Amino acid sequence: MRPYLTRRLAMSLAAITTAWLLTSACQQNRTLHAALQEGWGTITGQVVYGGDPLPERKPIADVKEPACLEKGPILTEVWVVDPKTRGVQWAVVFLKPAKGQTLPIHPSLQKPLNEFVTIDHPTCAFHPHIVTMRVGQKLLALNPMSIAHNVVITGFRNNFNIQIPPGGKHVFDLQPETYRALPIRCGAHPWMSGYLWMFDHPYFAVTDETGRFTIKNAPAGTWNLVVWHEAIGYLGGAAGRDGKPIDIKANETTDLGKIELKPTQ
Ligand SMILES: [Cu+2]
């Protein structure tokens, strides 16, 4: 190619790149601007059991290993319902942007607060039962027990089967795999079960023992909220995968009240 044409081509490419960079910077700014103008708010609510009678946790009959029973029986964890409040523990509640939408992230939450999220084995059960983390965080598995555990994580982009010896630990460097439940199992103890959820934003929570959840510094405006529980999947069935719109008010707490999970939906 003649030098003149090469120069012309390079100049055109530079012009196109500059124009593209300016356009995308403007778009990002607009998103940030809109969010800053509208502000940030808190979302709260309570996930409750919508059936009768209330399920009770029962000792898992398969657990025979003495080391597993040292701290008492291992109880079922699928439905953990508080009899006083009907609150359901271990539901995952999160904002999910629609296709092409980006959730503005509060300046104080741009980066994960901790490098590691921990999953422990104080007994022959995963603690916590449901692990949530942000993309970029690492999963630290601890085994303080006198017996080995096998942490098996099954996803599309994450597949691990790691033996953790007594007193040992392991750091899982996970690939981003967001908005889906990744089962966690133990190869040594078939009753052990948990789930891992990963998000590319900080707007998620797991319900506590009374079914309550709080998500702080969420972007004001209308965003989709998803509720998931391992026994029923998404609230609202398959369509619930994308959530339902909620209005988050700036500088206020938006209380969503009681969110009912029916045991069969
Ligand atoms: Cu185990």
Q: Kindly give the distance from the C-alpha atom of residue 162 to the centroid of ligand 1, in angstroms, as a whole number.
A: 11
Mean per-residue pLDDT, 155-164: 97
Long-range contacts of 104-111 (CB under 8 A, 24+ apart): 104/31, 104/32, 104/34, 104/35, 104/219, 105/201, 105/202, 105/219, 106/40, 106/202, 106/217, 106/218, 106/219, 108/217, 109/202, 109/217, 111/136
What's residue 33's pLDDT?
45
pLDDT for residue 7: 54
Q: How far is the CA of 12 from the centre of ligand 1 (A)?
A: 61
The alpha helices in 56-194, defined as continuous H runs, are 66-69
pLDDT of residue 100: 87
pTM of this structure: 0.86
Output the CA 123–ligand 1 centroid distance in Å.
9
What's the gap in Å between 38 CA and the centre of ligand 1? 47
**What's the gap in Å between 200 CA and the centre of ligand 1?**
29
| Spacing, Cα 245 to ligand 1 middle (Å) | 39
Over residues 168-205, the pLDDT tens digits come to 999 999 999 999 999 999 999 999 999 999 999 999 99
CA of 159 to the centre of ligand 1 (A): 17
Answer yes or no: is pLDDT of 26 > 90.
no
Handedness of CA 101, 33, 203, 172 (dihedral sign): positive
CA 78 – ligand 1 centroid, Å? 17
Centre of ligand 1 to C-alpha 143, Å, is: 9
Cβ atoms 138, 115 nearer than 8 A: yes
Cα–ligand 1 centroid distance for 223 (angstroms) = 39
Question: Does 29 have pLDDT greater than 80?
Answer: no
pLDDT top residue among 30 and 207: 207
Residue 150 in contact with residue 174, Cβ under 8 Å? no
- Ligand 1 centre distance from Cα of residue 150 (Å): 6
**Which CATH superfamily, name and number, covers 39-261?**
Cupredoxins -  blue copper proteins (2.60.40.420)
Ligand 1 center from residue 145 Cα (angstroms): 10
Whole-number Å distance, alpha carbon 185 to ligand 1 midpoint, is 8
- Interval 209-228 mean pLDDT: 97
Task: Determine the distance separating the centroid of ligand 1 and the alpha carbon of 194, expressed in angstroms.
Answer: 11
pLDDT-above-70 percentage for the chain: 86
The pLDDT of residue 173 is 95
pLDDT reported for residue 192 = 97
Question: How many A from CA of 186 to the centre of ligand 1?
Answer: 5
- What separation in Å is there between the alpha carbon of 170 and the centre of ligand 1? 14
Model pLDDT for residues 33-60, shown as the tens digit of each residue: 444 447 999 999 999 999 999 999 999 9
Distance of CA 243 to the CA centre of its chain: 14
pLDDT band at 22 (very low <50, low <70, confident <90, very high): very low
Q: For residues 90 and 55, what is the distance between their CA atoms, to the nearest angstrom?
A: 14
Task: List, for residues 95-116, the tens digit of each pLDDT value.
Answer: 999 988 889 999 999 999 999 9
User: Separation of 60 CA from ligand 1 center, angstroms?
Assistant: 14
Instruction: Tell me the C-alpha distance between 229 and 218, whole Å.
Output: 22
Lowest mean pLDDT among 15-19, 99-103, 111-115, 125-129: 15-19
Instruction: Give me ligand 1 centre to Cα 93, in Å.
Output: 27
No. of helices (H) and no. of strands (E), the chain: 2, 19
What is the Å distance from ligand 1's center to 251 Cα?
A: 45
Average pLDDT for residues 5-34, to the nearest whole number? 46
Q: Give the start-to-end residue ranges of the domains of the chain.
A: 1-38, 39-261
CA of 187 to the centre of ligand 1 (A): 7
